[in-house]
């Protein structure tokens, strides 16, 4: 009897700024998801990927990622591409910078291409207004790479979900995250035949 491989969800920490608030958010997602039934029973695994740890140069690949067919020249790009390729779906932890997406995460997205295809994306954003403009931009960006953003989102407000520099998510955030996570897993599994 064959055992099915677990669905692998990557939590992508998208800010590289010193003192970034996203680090606490990403760890909160990992901690919360550890108690979800699909993670407890082993049918889903969660992995935290920090964009800062990959040291990706700004669009350093001479070949357009869509044409490179996963054969990147830069070792950092190859390492990043392999890490993304190994995952089935994602939750981006994204700040909103200047009414849009953070440059570091956008570059990490743009430097590879086929690795994103036919996977699901959940968005957890933060900012003065909950990062909602970044989320709307991510939905359009993700669609171009055949990455399907689920409808729900978690939008964390700097004035409502932090006490100074300490992340203190509102009570309702746990339920919002659980719903987002479940949708990412279900859409990821529904897209599995397209990835095969």
Find the mean pLDDT for residues 6-17: 97
**93-128 as b/e, with b when 16 or more CB fall inside 10 Å?**
bbbbbeeebbebbbbbbbbbbbbbebbbbbbbbbbe
Report pLDDT digits (tens) over 122-145.
999 999 999 999 999 999 999 999
The band of 189, judged by pLDDT with boundaries at 50, 70 and 90, is very high
Q: Which pLDDT score, from 0 to 100, does residue 60 have?
A: 84
Q: What is the domain partition of the chain in residue ranges?
A: 7-14+26-95+112-195
Choose the CATH number for 7-14+26-95+112-195 among 3.40.50.360, 3.30.565.10, 3.50.4.10, 3.40.1500.10: 3.40.50.360
The band of 3, judged by pLDDT with boundaries at 50, 70 and 90, is low
pTM > 0.85: yes
The band of 2, judged by pLDDT with boundaries at 50, 70 and 90, is very low
Report pLDDT digits (tens) over 88-118.
999 999 999 999 999 999 999 999 999 999 9
Q: Which pLDDT score, from 0 to 100, does residue 25 have?
A: 98
**CA pair distance 13, 5, nearest whole angstrom:** 25
Does an H or E element contain 155, and which?
Answer: strand 147-157
């Amino acid at each position: 009897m064959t055992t099915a491989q677990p669905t692998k969800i990557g939590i992508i920490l998208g800010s590289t700024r010193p003192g970034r608030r996203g680090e606490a958010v990403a760890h909160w997602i990992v901690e919360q998801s550890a108690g979800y039934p699909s993670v407890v029973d082993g049918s889903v695994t969660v992995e935290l990927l920090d964009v800062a740890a990959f040291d990706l140069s700004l669009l350093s690949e001479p070949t357009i990622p869509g044409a490179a067919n996963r054969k990147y020249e830069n070792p950092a790009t190859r390492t990043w591409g392999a890490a993304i390729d190994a995952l089935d779906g994602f939750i981006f932890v994204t700040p909103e910078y200047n009414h849009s997406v953070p440059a570091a995460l956008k570059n990490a997205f743009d430097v590879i291409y086929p690795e994103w295809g036919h996977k699901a994306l959940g968005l957890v954003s933060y900012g003065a207004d909950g990062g909602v403009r970044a989320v709307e931009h991510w939905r359009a960006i993700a669609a171009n790479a055949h990455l399907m953003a689920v409808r729900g989102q978690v939008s964390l407000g700097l004035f409502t979900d932090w006490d100074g520099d300490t992340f203190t998510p509102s009570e309702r955030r746990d339920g919002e995250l659980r719903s987002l996570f479940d949708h990412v897993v279900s859409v990821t599994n529904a897209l599995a035949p397209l990835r095969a």
